Amino acid sequence: MKDTEHLDDSSLCRWLAGVFFVEVTEEQLAAYIAGAADPFLNRISEISDIDSLRSDFENELATLAEMPNTQRVLASDFAALFLLGEQNNAQPYAGLYTENGGTVFGRTHDRMLVLLRERGMARAQQSNEPADHIAYQLEYLAALLQSADTGKPEPAWKDFIDAELLNWLPRWEIAFKRVPTRSAFYPLLAKLARSYLEGLRKT
């Protein structure tokens, strides 16, 4: 993320998508500790009451700054939360939280794949990841927020937040609680993401 005070919402969605899609690197973490996450936090603060949550996240970054082998800790947490198993962790696929019994490559995946293809976003088609990964959903929302034709938000963006994101993110947050992690970095980011989307929806 660019180290500026204000970024547009489409850029913020893409930043969030990246954080949930691949492990944070040492360089990225150092940048966040130095304040590179402030534009995201500032934007959420504009549209949602996150004073306590922001303080928790900033304290977590300070803790990580003093922790040895920080990147390995976050890599371990990323794997434990998002990569291992299906029902026993917090994998970031909407279908696990919206379809009966939890489903990967189910109806939610199929629906998102159609949306991505219609917009010419082929990333999910070239990956083994289901199309209802939160990263793909956030990338799609970013595209809605910044229309290729006008550069302005498209009318469907609020409906998309309601129908494809806020319908499962609260249950995703609950799933984090059953996974032991060495840091609170990702659980706090998930809470911040939901607060951001809820606030954005109301604008």
Which domains occur in the chain, in start order?
9-201 (1.10.3480.10)
Q: Confidence band (pLDDT; 50, 70, 90) for 84?
A: confident
CA dihedral 33, 37, 42, 43 (to 10 degrees): -170
Whole-number Å distance between alpha carbons of 116 and 20: 18
Whole-number Å distance between alpha carbons of 146 and 162: 18
Q: What pLDDT is recorded for position 158?
A: 95
Q: What pLDDT is recorded for position 87?
A: 63
Q: What value does the CA radius of gyration of the chain take, rounded to a whole number of Å?
A: 16
Q: Please determine, for residue 78, whether its predicted confidence score (pLDDT) is greater than 60.
A: yes
Q: What pLDDT is recorded for position 124?
A: 46
In terms of pTM, does the model score above 0.85?
yes
Beta bridge partners of 133: 93
Residue whose C-alpha is closest to residue 187's, from 102, 94, 29, 80? 80
Whole-number Å distance between alpha carbons of 171 and 12: 22
